[in-house]
Amino acid sequence: MAGLDVEVTVDDVGGKAVFIASNNQKLLPDGISNVRQEFFFAQVSRLLCKSATFIAAKAVNSVFQRCKILMASDGIPPLYRQRVWLIAATLGMGSVLFFQRPPTKEAINADVFPRETIRVGDLDREFRVVVPSEQATGLMPVLFAFHGVGDSTDSMAEYSDLDRTAAENGFLLVYPATRRFSWASHVSESSPVEANPDVTFFDALLSHLEQKFEIDSERIYLAGMSNGASFVQLLAAHRENVAAVVAHSGPSPIEIDEMSRRFPILLIAGADDSIVDEMQLNAEQYRQADFDCELVTVPGLGHEWSRSNNPQLWAFLNRHTKPR
């Protein structure tokens, strides 16, 4: 988890699992900061699986290296030398089959800048930019894609395949990066939106990009996954320059009927995702509050991004411009 180390301990009261962040903030059981617990556990499970795979690969490599050392020894009888060679060959082939990296993806017609930074207050904030090589004449639309809890700009680019969508449709794609584990999607009297560091980051990043690229100010779009989906709904509710939104697998963090502005929104959720019922309820609430809202439920999909709906995602955004 970039930017945040999490330690698992056991609470003295009740024996419950407690997650302690590197800044000594207790995340559970009192609740993760503005992020639903099921999102957190889904991300932790995925990270643990990645860690287990890495450890297994290191173990196989260690045994393989020991076999090579034994093969180089003069004191090994021929029969045992053959057995050691067989073990080494088996481990070598196994590591290729089980731990090889996926094949390189087909190149896209765009320039990718994976590690860009901007100074916001006293902090350096990171973001990833995809600039399509073929752009439509005139000003360029921009899509900000906000990742989920425990993800990164690179991982979202990988699982969403939005880079390809941007290259094929000629829009500027920007992946902002969280500062601490998740997006600040909560607003209260003690935490007003104007004091929200991630909202401030968005404002500064948009201003920075407008100085570097010829951006169409009427076509500024937001998309988010999980916690990122919740954040983009908060952001769109408080920023007049947002033309349309796609919220993937993340419910609204604020009361919809209390939003001061209306914006087009596309909700996408997997039919097997635990959050689908809440997103269906959100869709009804958006429509009742006179929002232009569409809902896509993807059969057989859990809490993950639906690449097959990328064309629909862009078609929805592309037909909306900010009201003048």
Do 93 and 129 lie in one domain? The reply is no
288 and 147, same structural domain?
Answer: yes
Distance CA 315, CA 309 (A): 10
Last residue of a domain, one of 99, 127, 147: 99
- What CATH number should be reported for the domain holding residue 139? 3.40.50.1820
Please report which confidence band the pLDDT of residue 323 belongs to, taking 50, 70 and 90 as the band edges.
low
Q: Do residues 141 and 290 both lie within one domain?
A: yes
Asked if residue 182 belongs to a domain, the reply is: yes
Could you read off the pLDDT of 155-207 as tens digits, one per residue? Answer: 999 999 999 999 999 999 999 999 888 999 887 766 788 889 999 999 999 99
- DSSP of 130-157: EEESS--SS-EEEEEEE--TT--HHHHH
- Comparison of pLDDT for 158 and 15, the residue scoring more: 158
Torsion of CA 278, 279, 285, 291, to 10 degrees: 170
Q: What is the dihedral of CA 276, 227, 292, 280, to 10 degrees?
A: 10
Q: What is the mean pLDDT of the chain?
A: 80
User: In b/e form, how buried is each residue of 10-20, taking b as 16+ CB within 10 angstroms?
Assistant: eeeeeeeebbe
Number of domain units in the chain = 2
Asked if 131 contacts 163 with a C-beta cutoff of 8 angstroms, the reply is no
